[in-house]
Amino acid sequence: MTRRENLIRTWLGLWGWGFAAYTVLGIMGGIQDEVFAIREHVAFRWFEVLGSNLIGHWGNALFVPPVVLLVRRFPLDGTHWRRSMPAVLLGTVALFFVMRFGVEQLELMFLTTRLFRLSSFVNNIYNL
């Protein structure tokens, strides 16, 4: 197996695990939003709540491979942390900006439900 095939296989495996984990988190978030809406006596449609949660969580799942590979390449263990810290910080900040100004903007453009949910990066605003 070539290095390129191995890298593709690694990314696909990490995305698979990431999307599986974030799907579970999205369903749990949908249940949490449902409980909140019922407690506040707010009418909602389950499909919109679930869809909104899944879209938000799947956006986060896109970043599982880059984060995992970043910390594998630049480990923060006892012997390498001084050399690795700047790379990890720069990589994390870069991924944050891609998420905040790229992926989240696409989510808001294509999320056509009446729900408005900003991500956890921006004040946790929920309007059901």
Q: How far apart are CA 121 and CA 27, in angstroms?
A: 19
Give me the pLDDT at residue 47, please. Answer: 82
Mean pLDDT of 39-43: 80
Give me the pLDDT at residue 21, please. Answer: 95
40-49, 56-65, 110-119: least confident range: 110-119
Domain boundaries, the chain: 3-127
Give me the pLDDT at residue 16, please. Answer: 93
Residue 69's nearest CA partner among 1, 13, 5 is: 13
Residue 116 reports pLDDT greater than 50: no
Residue 31: partners with Cβ closer than 8 Å, 6 or more residues away: none
Encoded amino acid at 125, one letter: I
Mean pLDDT of 47-67: 86
